[in-house]
Chains A and B, each alone.
Chain A
């Protein structure tokens, strides 16, 4: 179905904006709400689910080589229950994609384009991602490589430019109320780290699979480092009540002012943000399309690319009347639970079942 190949490094680079792209929009606010000035610790706890997801995806891929999670569901737990689980995964990825686009669009409309209907922002993003997905995995891999420096470097430059404004003493007192607040703050970001399960759709197309584990783990680590840095930045800049801003990092970028000359950098920040999210949604959209095509046993994934774009659009609106509703669902009441179940617990159980079954088979062969 997919004839292209990507390298492990490309996979790691693609996954970086996939997690960071939306995780730096409104996750720092909800983390700050629970963790207060310990919010920089939360991504460290949260990255645990990322490492678990990568571990599960790699181990499962070793047991079922060249198959994605939709395909080996059937082999691991039987034909009918595997089909049902595969269907649930397809729905899950469709929801993740649609609600992710909603977060992105609310951010763009709320912060930069207040007079533009939100459907214009979602539709244009979905359309351009659809064209990318249509051309296949190799294109997405190369786009990721191309845009990674443009996405990553400005973030570092922003931190550098903000250095004179920072108040590092905001970090104290560390763990004033014990470890619990920072663990509660990790509840939202763990859902984003769980998205590393998406590599189970990319592993079958790696040209150097033996390096997949190394780069996968490296990618999780790098994302964790970035989120810790972003959280420290907003904490040093805005103090412990940063949760009162819906988009703390955007607020932070407005503080940049060098010699009254270099100001209003937030429009540049937005351009970079759009770029990162373009890579992000291309990756999640691709995984959704590939998963759907494999679940339906189609001969090619191309026929479902555009129809699933329409579905993404519908999902991004369905049952979500406002920005508040979208944020509440994605960071507190819905997505974090759903992600924990689908991207951490189920893959680990699948792995356990697969290992036990493999052991049984070996015993039968030997006996």
Chain B
């Protein structure tokens, strides 16, 4: 399921970041620019999904440490 509102907002945010940051990082090294655009691109792609109701890092971490949960049971 896509959430159009969140996706649209993220697109605007990504566009604004590029517009304001590009003049400043134009003269930086190729690697800097690559990191800048890759992080934005992956973030933008992720925003297409219905993130709150998807399995995420918290789900995986909770599953990973579940065997240790016995200690904290009341």
Contacts and interface: CB of A to CB of B under 8 A. Distances in A.
B61 A338 contact: yes
A319 B55 contact: yes
A307 B72 contact: no
Contacts of B66: 333
A298 interface: yes
Interface residues of B, number: 41
Nearest to B29: A299
Interface string A178-198: 000000100100000000000
Interface residues of A, number: 38
Interface hub of A119, A325, A337 (most chain B Cβ within 10 A): A337
Main secondary structure of the interface of A (DSSP, over half): helix
B32 A99 contact: no
Contact of A303 (B28, B55, B65): B28
B62 to A, nearest CB: 5
24 contacts: A33-B74, A119-B6, A187-B72, A297-B31, A298-B35, A299-B28, A299-B32, A300-B28, A303-B25, A303-B28, A303-B33, A303-B36, A304-B35, A304-B39, A307-B35, A311-B39, A311-B43, A317-B51, A317-B52, A319-B56, A320-B56, A332-B72, A334-B62, A334-B65
Closest 5 CB pairs of A and B: A319-B56, A307-B39, A318-B56, A337-B65, A303-B36
Interface of B: 6, 9-10, 13-14, 17, 21, 24-25, 28-29, 31-33, 35-36, 39-40, 43-44, 46-47, 51-59, 61-62, 64-66, 68-69, 71-72, 74
